[in-house]
Amino acid sequence: MSALHTAPATPKTTVDRFHAEAAALRKTLDELDQIQRKAWQQESIAARKALAALQADLALATAEAEAERAASREDLSRALTEMVDVWRGWIDDLRVQGRLAEMDARDALDALRRDATRPVHELREAVLQTLARVRTALGA
């Protein structure tokens, strides 16, 4: 049977197919994460963030569609609860991203401090070594 003769995809099968493809992509990313290259790891992180954002968007769109089609108060309540859960997930993700950015900023500041004090330390060591050589040469 050709692709033209297949039944049209329902929203549920489309959503299920998306989740299956997302799981397969995550598995591939997990395998590729074994590669210890910094550039790949950064790309992997970006891909995972994009995938998570797509899944959150899909969950919100699904909940909105279910809210619009709700036949009863219970259905509407369930759909609204799902929407609130998606928004909470986004807020939690923003908190995590904020904490990670704060940690990155602290690490960068610490590295800057280390880099700034290193030349002073190296200069001090060079002066002490020079003084030691002068003392040795003078027989002191």
65-116 confidence digits (pLDDT tens): 888 888 999 988 988 898 899 889 889 888 988 898 899 889 888 888 887 7
CB 59 within 8 A of CB 82: yes
CB 83 within 8 A of CB 60: yes
Name the residue among 100, 90, 34, 99 with its Cα closest to residue 63. Answer: 90
> Where along the chain do its domains lie?
8-115
26-65 confidence digits (pLDDT tens): 888 887 777 667 777 778 788 888 888 888 888 888 888 8
**pTM of the shown model:** 0.49
